[in-house]
Structure 1
Amino acid sequence: MKLYRFLSGPDDSAFCHKVTAALNKGWHLFGSPTYSFNAETKTMMCGQAVVKDVDGKDYEPGIKLSDY
């Protein structure tokens, strides 16, 4: 199965660690990162899509993507 996640958060080291953790679990960057301003919180927000192929498993809507 092919899995897709969109990671997002404030533009800080925690976001970078979130993406780094996913990469170290075998996820791969998909597309370009996004960057936008949240006017309500007055902070910059980041986003990055990641994908992963998992052999021998079938997709089910109830799976917890972060377990992979």
Structure 2
Amino acid sequence: MSGASKRPVDRLLTVTEVAERLSTSERFPRRLIEERRITFVRIGRKVRIPESALNDFIAAGLVHPISTRTWRAA
């Protein structure tokens, strides 16, 4: 195996685990899979979502706060 690049092992999450992390029902992750809005892996009849794909999905929805200026009295 010399010269082969080593990739970190990504944990595969079940639909139930994804739903728990998103604090939602299992229906939402299943819809994400059906609409191809998240990366998933099929292992036989089972479907798993890589943890990195879930983290990317969450990061894509991240909204940063708007910085407001403080008003000075003139």
TM-score range, shorter chain: 0.3 to 0.5
By percentage of residues, which structure has more helix? 2
Larger radius of gyration: 2
Which structure carries more relative contact order (alpha carbon 8 Å, separation 6+)?
1
- Relative to the length of structure 2, the TM-score reads 0.31
Greater strand share, structure number: 1
TM-score normalized by the length of structure 1? 0.33
